[in-house]
Amino acid sequence: MSGAAAVPRAAAAATGASFRSVGSVAGAATVYGVHGAAGLTRWKCFAGRRQLASATEAVEWASVPPGGLSGEHRHTRTEEIYLVLRGQGEFLFNGRPHPVGPGSLALTAVGNVHGLRNTGDTDLDWWVIETLAPTTEAVLSGTDLTPGVPPMTEAVVHNLFKERAVATAGVFSGPLRGVEVTDLDAGQHCVLAVPDAELAVFVHGGEGRATAEDGTVVELAADTCVTLAAGTRTRVDAESPLRLLVVTLAVPGHTVEAR
């Protein structure tokens, strides 16, 4: 690695200017009664408001065993995505079930009730990103706001692995702009950089490394999650076939000079 500082896969703290947080699902907590449901959920929080500049509540991972349930609950102040990583289940939206599997991306806007049930015979794992709705952010910051997105009434579930990129416009009005999947073959690389947005990146499979402009290196493996600061450039090199799930989180007012 040419003498660059390497960060272990399980590093828990933010590292360098580019990496806002680095973590993996290792050491996930076991929680009982999530959202009022019986049974257990494995849960890990990768980043929250302390690490991120965007109006993001949390970047998390969760898993329920066969027959398990993440209880139905209403979102009153946040917008949230569930991105199924492994397993089979039902996304429950306003009382109606919708079948989901790997790559299913479910969007929930303010005012709606959602939950997730494992209907398969293996664990159901999913990635969660929850962001403040503009109305919530306005209350917290003391600013005025005119809502611009109509209420969500129907379930919005995409097949991300088929569509490759999903924009949230028309459903969300907060910082979460979109979700995409990037596949690299061994030996290939990509550069992750958005001038006015942070990026949350989850490794769905494979191994590689992420290198910041200051030379800091983070090793990547399945179930690693990193968040990247707005206006930074991070190179990702694949050491084996590598699949990245990338979420764009806008940071209002953040600009950088053109490079």
Give 61-80 pLDDT, tens digit per residue: 999 999 999 989 888 889 99
pLDDT for 255 beyond 80: no
CATH superfamily, region 6-250: Jelly Rolls (2.60.120.10)
Taking 90 as the threshold, does the pLDDT of residue 127 lie above it?
yes
pLDDT reading at 91 higher than 80:
yes
Q: 246, 200 in Cβ contact below 8 A?
A: yes
Per-residue confidence band for 17, with pLDDT thresholds at 50, 70 and 90: confident
Question: 139 by DSSP, 3-state: which?
Answer: helix
The residue with tokens 């947005």 is 197
Structure tokens at 49: 């408001």
Q: What is the pTM of this model?
A: 0.88
Place of tokens 């947080």: 21
